[in-house]
Chains A and B, each alone.
Chain A
Amino acid sequence: MLTKRSARIALCVSLSLILTISIACGAPAEQQPETSAPAASQQQQPAATAAPAAPAAAPAQPTATTALALPAGMSDRAAGGAAPTAEPTATPVPEPTAGEPVQKDLRVAITPPYAENLLGWRVGGTNQGMLQPMQEQLFQRDYVTWEAKPMLVTEWEVSEDGATWHFQLREDVPYHHGEDTFGVSDFVFSLQLWSHPEGKGATDWFHELLGPAGELRSIEVDALGTTAAVEQVSDSEMIWHANRPELWVPFWFSDASTDPLIYSLDYWQKVGEDEYAQNPVGTGPYKHVSYQQGAKLEYERAFEDHWRVNPDFDTLTFFFAEEDLTRVAMLRAKEADIAEIPRELQGEVVKAGFQITQSTLPAFMVWVGIGGQYLEDRRDGNDPNTNILVRRAMNHAIDRNAINEAFFDNKMELMANTGWHPTDPAYDPAWEIPEYNPDLARELLQEAGYAEGAGPSVEFMSGKLVGVPELTEIAVPIISWLEEVGFQVDAQIGEFQPIRTRYKAREMNGTLWTHRTGFWPSGRNVRVYFVSPNQQGAVYMYEDPYVEEEYDRWKQSVDPQEREQIMREVGQFMYEKNATMPLGFLFAEFGINPEVVVEYSVNNSYFGGMKGHEYTRVVRK
């Protein structure tokens, strides 16, 4: 008897499993993402979103980006440093809306940050985005215009020489622990943390600015919260004597750069570093509730009436899901209201009734680096990459429109000159996107001395990077186009790490590689990508004595017009030299559940998935 019963049970279990597999195997066909690009209407943002429309579907031209508001924050003037006295504008506060929210919890599924630690200064920028709902900064960037706006400062003034900054801090801003309000000592303490030797943010940069008391680099010293570099006028007013001119303080100290979060000195002294790491506090609209490493981070509304914004949602939870399909499943199962959805899966979520929203400004810049263009010490005269005719041939060999259509649904804004966006004041509208012209590419190679079909031998490397997983995919047609005009390409597609190791060592002679970075002003791009170690470059991609000199002049100058002119001239030089193979600008894109979220004003940063959630608008009954 028992045998028969067992047999029946076993049979049921087997049939269930088979049924499960059968159903499941059928599901993907039904849920397959569309092979064609989602309809334009499906790609639109929620009606209430103030964000500009995506770039035109047709081959993007520099002039086609007029829908984008001018990110005036790229200029010195709006960065707050050009005028001796900046006039702060009002902080954007969402208008109150009526009706009960359909949901009190906002759940966001994102890829995990590179490094998880609730003390952001210890792990640097990539992690700190997830702390921004809780901790504030001195400035914030407008999500559409990118202008510097006051956050924890209300007024600021910079001296003629650009080295002395006078700040009026916001008064009576309480921390979450309820026993302290923000003041000058908190700013100085935070500055000490950011420049701490164990910090992994822009440590050196902050240390450089700290001024005469720059040796104060340890949190173990007694003088926490004070430094000779900062003259405290009152608890809410200070004069900071930086040890060199720096006009972009409002940019670097804003949420755009993620690093400089404000910490409470009082709380630190009361509870110590370990407890601060377990239960961090800040002045933001959300306060920390719990954290499960590798899984989720929970916040709840901190104040009934926050000085800056009262979020629509009572709680905010980040779920860290590495797998793309898991995030898609979370959105579709309505376990997440906002989720990072890779471009190839967006059609599927749109088909299921969800929406795709995109960042208000581009989040990424994508291009192909042409290695080997170093200063004399690393330059190889036999490297074909050092020949401008070869570089021009490379630029005309590839079809950017085809890449845009095949991999980015025409949502990439094509780029004429790597590092200069059309909204950058130093951009020149005369710059043109290199035309796809394989015949011209062949001619240029012949002019460079290569016989037809026997072009130069180059190595092409490509590896995946967060935010633009298509980097490895776009490498395939690019290699094919290069070979078509005669290049002999040795392709290496895999991890990005070997590429990073080589460009850091300035060993990219004869090598091309796909690269992406965030959306930055040209001044920063030149500093990171187009100068040598002598000028504290970082990604050694292009070096030339002229650019070195110009960049040095730009750094020393405190005349905004002169600085803008220098950047334009550097841009012109890079453009004429065909220094890189520019591809385009990409926006950060997210899936949202329109039954819960009316508007998600994603900012431009590629940490956008973690930021700006206090401004997310809920659907109301």
Chain B
Amino acid sequence: MQRFIFLRVIQSVLALLVISAVVFALARVTGDPVAILLPEDASPAVVEQVRSKWGLDQPIYVQYARYIGNFVTGDFGEAWAYGGVPITELIARRLPNTIVLAGFAWIISASIALPIGVMVAVKKDSAFDWAGKVVALIGQSAPSFAIGLILMWVFAVILGWLPTSGNDAGFKSIILPGVALGYYNVAAVMRLTRSSMLEVLDTEYVKLARIKGMPERKVIWKHCFRNALIVPFTYMGLIGAVLLTGSVVIETVFVWPGLGDLAIDAIRNRDFPVIQSIVILFAAFYIFINLAVDVAYAYLNPRIRY
């Protein structure tokens, strides 16, 4: 197990390095940030001054080495488009909002998908099962921004129950972006739960439990659900990272001041250090959660050995 963890950590670090290099190169392919940062009538002298200040006059490999060197010491650099504000400060301000939103979306996904997944498995081929499939189909086929705008229109504009956007109306603020973000994953988790439950429901020990007269509720929720949980649990872990990183569009639509919204601003302004920091941070989340899930999975399922 220790060897497995060690190898996975090494792989994770390598993956992060590759990602950082790719992002670093791709960001620069999009064009010269100075053209956006400065007014159109900025003189060549000012352009050169700004280029020199941000190190853009250096060869790209020097820029990269300097960036990585600073990054590993926790210095993410300064945000060009924000007048030199330290990026760590920007991220520290925005990250909690993203975590709260992703956490809420995760709860939405789990609390809707797991019970429905179990129920559609138990009521296989019934109207309930078909209704569940429709929910799943809509969730998987509709982009989250479209769901978000529809929810905004219905619950904020037409009904007036919830705010359209922002994060200053307390719990009410998070409902629409949380549901819009979480709904996409409802379908996937529900389908996984359903298929996993169907497999477990068909096992000998479940049949035996029923023959012995165990109450159906206990059979399903204690014996079946627990055993069927491994696959959806693994996926739920992964979608934790997906929700964190997938909040970019939803945060923009709902003016939720998180990392996703910051990423869009940074891309719009070609603020390379901010783009790089956010992407690497997102990648690190993803890799870390993957790693954690792999380790937890190994512990949870004693049959799995590496």
Spell out A's residues near B (CB within 8 Å): 1-3, 6-7, 9-11, 13-15, 17-18, 20-21, 23-25, 27-28, 31, 112, 114-117, 119, 122-126, 197-198, 200-204, 292-296, 319-323, 325-326, 329-330, 332-333, 335, 495, 497-498, 500-501, 504, 517, 527-528, 533, 536, 538-539
Q: Mark B247-258, 1 if CB is under 8 A from A, else 0.
A: 000001111110
Within the complex, what minimum Cβ distance (angstroms) separates A74 from chain B?
Answer: 17
Q: Is B207 an interface residue (CB 8 A)?
A: no
Among all A-B residue pairs, the 3 with the closest Cβ atoms: A122-B83, A24-B150, A117-B83
15 contacts between A and B (CB under 8 A): A1-B217, A6-B115, A114-B36, A126-B39, A200-B83, A201-B39, A293-B90, A293-B93, A293-B257, A294-B262, A296-B168, A497-B32, A500-B31, A517-B40, A533-B44
Would A295 and B167 count as touching, CB distance under 8 A?
A: yes
Would A204 and B53 count as touching, CB distance under 8 A?
A: no
Spell out B's residues near A (CB within 8 Å): 30-32, 35-46, 49-50, 53, 81-85, 90, 93-94, 112, 115-116, 118-120, 122-123, 128, 131-132, 134-135, 138, 142, 149-154, 156-158, 160, 163-168, 183, 216-217, 220-221, 252-257, 261-262, 264-265, 268-270
Bound-state Cα–Cα, A123 to B115, Å: 51
- Summed over the interface, the residue pairs from A and B with CB atoms below 8 Å come to a total of 192
Would B154 and A7 count as touching, CB distance under 8 A?
A: no
Would A14 and B38 count as touching, CB distance under 8 A?
A: no
Would A31 and B153 count as touching, CB distance under 8 A?
A: yes
Bound-state Cα–Cα, A189 to B48, Å: 25
Bound-state Cα–Cα, A115 to B270, Å: 11
Bound-state Cα–Cα, A202 to B85, Å: 21
Would A17 and B135 count as touching, CB distance under 8 A?
A: yes
Would A17 and B138 count as touching, CB distance under 8 A?
A: yes
Bound-state Cα–Cα, A326 to B163, Å: 11
B80 and chain A: residue at smallest CB distance: A115
Bound-state Cα–Cα, A119 to B84, Å: 11
Bound-state Cα–Cα, A542 to B11, Å: 55
Checking B150, B183, B254, B256 against A25 with a beta-carbon cut-off of 8 angstroms, the contacting residue is B150
Would A13 and B116 count as touching, CB distance under 8 A?
A: yes
Known: A114-B268, A124-B39, A321-B255. A295 touches B82 (CB 8 A): no
Checking A126, A321, A498 against B165 with a beta-carbon cut-off of 8 angstroms, the contacting residue is A321
Would A198 and B84 count as touching, CB distance under 8 A?
A: yes
Checking A11, A319, A333, A495 against B128 with a beta-carbon cut-off of 8 angstroms, the contacting residue is A11
- Which of B46, B83, B132, B167 lies at the interface centre, i.e. has the most chain A CB atoms within 10 A of its CB? B83
Checking B115, B163, B256, B269 against A114 with a beta-carbon cut-off of 8 angstroms, the contacting residue is B269
Would B134 and A18 count as touching, CB distance under 8 A?
A: yes
Checking B90, B164, B268 against A333 with a beta-carbon cut-off of 8 angstroms, the contacting residue is B164
Residues of A within 8 A of B166 (CB): 295-296, 319
A115 and chain B: residue at smallest CB distance: B81
B44 and chain A: residue at smallest CB distance: A533
Checking B36, B42, B115, B131 against A497 with a beta-carbon cut-off of 8 angstroms, the contacting residue is B36
Would B39 and A329 count as touching, CB distance under 8 A?
A: no
Bound-state Cα–Cα, A295 to B168, Å: 10
Within the complex, what minimum Cβ distance (angstroms) separates B147 from chain A?
Answer: 8
Known: A17-B138, A320-B255, A325-B149. A6 touches B157 (CB 8 A): no
A533 and chain B: residue at smallest CB distance: B44
Residues of B within 8 A of A9 (CB): 115
Would A18 and B131 count as touching, CB distance under 8 A?
A: yes
B135 and chain A: residue at smallest CB distance: A14
Bound-state Cα–Cα, A21 to B94, Å: 31
A539 and chain B: residue at smallest CB distance: B40
Checking B135, B217, B255 against A326 with a beta-carbon cut-off of 8 angstroms, the contacting residue is B255
Checking B41, B142, B158, B262 against A538 with a beta-carbon cut-off of 8 angstroms, the contacting residue is B41
Bound-state Cα–Cα, A292 to B93, Å: 9
Would B40 and A528 count as touching, CB distance under 8 A?
A: yes
Bound-state Cα–Cα, A123 to B36, Å: 11
Known: A10-B116, A21-B138, A21-B150. A333 touches B156 (CB 8 A): yes
Would B255 and A329 count as touching, CB distance under 8 A?
A: no
Bound-state Cα–Cα, A201 to B40, Å: 10
B45 and chain A: residue at smallest CB distance: A204
Bound-state Cα–Cα, A605 to B91, Å: 33
Residues of B within 8 A of A322 (CB): 252, 255, 261, 264
Would B150 and A335 count as touching, CB distance under 8 A?
A: no
